Amino acid sequence: MVLPIIGLCELGNCPQTTVCGVLRGTARPKLGANINLGCFYFVGMPVAVWLGFYAGLDFEGLWLGLMAAQGSCMVTMLFVLARTNWNGQAQRAKELTSSDYDEEELLVEKWNHKDQTDNCVDSTLSDNNLDGSDLAV
């Protein structure tokens, strides 16, 4: 009779894992970890202990406690996702992944100036025939 409960636990695990990945992708992994910690230790474990040892459901009670933890975790994470400001998250992602245009332009100018300087030095050496063959030792 435990296998159907285990199957339900796995069905509850899929959305929970997906939503945890979304929280990680929005640069909020600490929030997902705190939700997991709270739901598994403060909801799932007391329910599992009570059902398994005091209500007389034994092994099935422990698995029902795990299912309660995953259910509460999934509901809490879906609540957090429903209240997420997605426009704000898009702006935050843009800020985290882009650089300042002036900084980028300055780097390109420095790189171009370095290339021009190197070309000038190379042409000066070839114009003056300074290949090292005329140096006296």
Q: Which residue has the tokens 């998250």?
A: 89
Q: Which residue has the tokens 């390109």?
A: 108
Which 3 state secondary structure label does DSSP give 86? helix
| pLDDT value for 11 | 87
Average pLDDT over residues 64-84: 94
- More confident call, 121 vs 5: 5
Ranking 29-43, 80-94, 101-115 by mean pLDDT, the lowest is 101-115
Percent of the chain past pLDDT 70, that is, above it, reads: 72
When computed from its CA atoms, the radius of gyration of the chain, rounded to whole angstroms, is 31
Average pLDDT over residues 121-132: 52
Residue ranges of the domains in the chain?
2-97, 99-128
Q: Which residue has the tokens 């290339």?
A: 115
Q: Which residue has the tokens 């990945």?
A: 21
Q: pTM for the complete prediction?
A: 0.67
